[in-house]
Amino acid sequence: HFEVNLKLLDKNKSTWTVDEIRTAYFRNFSETEKILKGTEGAILWQRHEELLDCVAILEACYNDVLNSINSFSHETTKVDFWYPANQPKLEQKQLDVRKAIFSASAATMALVDHFRRFSQKYPVEKSNEMRVEVFGNSGMHDFIQGLRNYILHVKIAEANWVISRDFKNKTRDVNFYFYIDDLKKFKDWKPAAKVFMERHGDKVNVYNTFSTYLECVKKYYTWHKNSLLIEYHEIIQRHLSNEYLLNGIKSDTRWNFIIANLKTRQELLATLNKYLSEDQLKLVHACEVGSPQQLSMILAVTDTFGSFTDHLKEKFTKLLENA
């Protein structure tokens, strides 16, 4: 038994040269990736990606609410929708709205919890002030959050539909409402949520509430992402630089493997058909076959990280020259 002195990355550093990363990667690729993923910037980036996933899930759930209401509204314009034989379809459309509201309320609380944990670790200046500016003080934020607790402790929220017609203007509207009397069965609404409900009289419009809140979420998290990138630029930049270098090394290795056993230009071009997008292939075939311009274009679309070694570039050159 003997030990091999592997030259790995210095864990006390947070950035390395491409040669340091390349040497470490070929000695122990799994340990090298582990070290790169363990830097402060990499951890921040990963946690922020997870936060953005929560935002995306919330957006999808909210859009489900809006789309299910629109779908119900569209179906109600069909005469046969109201036939007794289609009662199951009517009930299913109503259920779709309730299911969407349930998912949206769960997604809201998940995002709130996730954002709270993220902000404790990575606070952003003026975050609270911006949240008030975007969401306002109407109590809508607390009402939306409270819906989750209402559903957990009382019942899945009833969304009651009402069709209204304006014969003078020849318009019709289908609206879903939360009735305040139902909501008050839950006794632990926050004060701001109670104010929100009081301002809406006897009912809250589901579509308007969810669409307004969704726009607020989009606006706030766009601001938050931009602010985070500015405030934590230094450690994020170091992480992305390390990631870029590592991806370049992987790309160089991958293309070395892909063309290792090719002999001719025809084999090279046929192989590129498997690995390039349609747009990239168009760029390659727009050049004269075997020309220096085609070589330059092939390198441009394959060496996306600018990491190809001279040895690999020479391989591409010889293949293209060998008709």
From first to last of the 323 residues of the chain, give the pLDDT tens digit: 333 334 578 777 778 999 999 999 999 999 999 999 999 999 999 999 999 999 999 999 999 999 999 998 888 888 887 788 888 888 888 889 889 998 999 999 999 999 999 999 999 999 999 999 999 988 999 999 888 888 877 766 666 777 766 556 556 678 889 999 989 988 899 999 999 999 998 999 999 999 999 999 999 999 999 999 999 999 999 999 999 999 999 999 999 999 999 999 999 999 999 999 999 999 999 999 999 999 999 999 999 999 999 999 999 999 999 87
How far apart (Å, rounded) are the C-alpha atoms in residues 261 and 271? 11
User: Which residue, 133, 122, 144, is CA-closest to 50?
Assistant: 122
Residues 6+ apart with CB under 8 A from 43: 37
Of 194, 215, 234, the residue at which a domain comes to its end is 234
> How many CB atoms sit inside 10 A of residue 8's CB?
16
Instruction: Tell me the two tokens of residue 279.
Output: 């747009």
Are 45 and 165 in a shared domain?
A: yes
Structural domain total, the chain: 2
Are 173 and 291 in a shared domain?
A: no
Are 217 and 319 in a shared domain?
A: no
The answer to whether 319 and 262 are in contact (CB under 8 A) is: yes
Are 149 and 283 in a shared domain?
A: no
How far apart (Å, rounded) are the C-alpha atoms in residues 323 and 320? 7
Of 219, 234, 249, the residue at which a domain comes to its end is 234
Q: Convert 70-83 into a string of H (helix), E (strand) and C (coil).
A: HHHHHHCCCHHHHC
Task: Tell me which residue range forms the domain holding 49.
Answer: 40-234
Q: Is residue 13 part of a domain?
A: no
Q: Is residue 300 part of a domain?
A: yes
Are 107 and 227 in a shared domain?
A: yes
DSSP three-state, residue 47? helix
Are 226 and 267 in a shared domain?
A: no
Q: Is residue 10 part of a domain?
A: no
Of 234, 251, 273, the residue at which a domain comes to its end is 234
How far apart (Å, rounded) are the C-alpha atoms in residues 78 and 116? 46
Are 68 and 193 in a shared domain?
A: yes
User: Which residue, 172, 236, 242, 171, is CA-closest to 22?
Assistant: 242
Global confidence as pTM = 0.84
The answer to whether 177 and 160 are in contact (CB under 8 A) is: yes
Are 322 and 212 in a shared domain?
A: no
Q: Is residue 28 part of a domain?
A: no
